[in-house]
Amino acid sequence: MTDFIQKITPEKKRIRELKFKIYTHGSYKGLTGGWAFIVLDKFEQKSTFSGSERCVEKNRIEMMSIIEALNWIYNYVEVKYRKFIKATVYTENVYCVNIMNEWLNEWKEDLNNRPNSDLLKLLVELKEKMNVRLEWCGKTHSEYMWATQRIANDRLNEE
């Protein structure tokens, strides 16, 4: 057994560490949206980020939170390891879950005729760069979902 462990190179060890859990939330009020995400790496180390922007609808700001999170992970990981990233994104937005897990592949040829086509194109790009899976997670199922909602709402109220 120890021979096997000793044969694990630092390179292989690093690849095994590229699993992330991401909790996202987007809040919307009027023409302003606030987004937040929490990233947990394989060792449960937490990173939290948030932002706000002018926005005209709820689904758009929810997609922004996912895009911001995936971009952060992609840029955080060294270039030579990026293709090994595995990210599970938790959101309470069923529309975003369905887009990423089901509809996006069907829509690839027709993105320009879809609402928020600019964001859909970014999601396609990110999905091609790394292994991404979205899962629905209600606020009552995770302390991290509560936290992202609170943070996104705080950003929303700053505007």
Residue-wise pLDDT tens digits, 82-131: 989 999 999 999 999 999 999 998 888 889 999 899 999 999 999 999 99
Could you tell me where the beta strands, DSSP code E, fall in the chain? 19-29, 32-40, 46-54, 86-91, 131-136
pLDDT at 147 over 90: yes
pLDDT for residue 158: 75
Q: How far apart are the first and last CA of the chain?
A: 57
Q: Does domain 18-158 have CATH number 3.30.420.10?
A: yes
Cβ(111)–Cβ(121) below 8 Å: yes
> Residue 7's pLDDT band (boundaries 50, 70, 90)?
low
pLDDT for residue 44: 83
Percent of the chain that is helix, strand, coil (3-state, to 5): 55, 25, 20
Query: In this structure, what is the dihedral angle of CA atoms 59, 64, 65, 68, given to the nearest 10 degrees?
Result: 170
Q: Please tell me the pTM assigned to this model.
A: 0.88
Q: What is the mean pLDDT of the chain?
A: 88
Decide which of 17 and 146 is more confident: 146
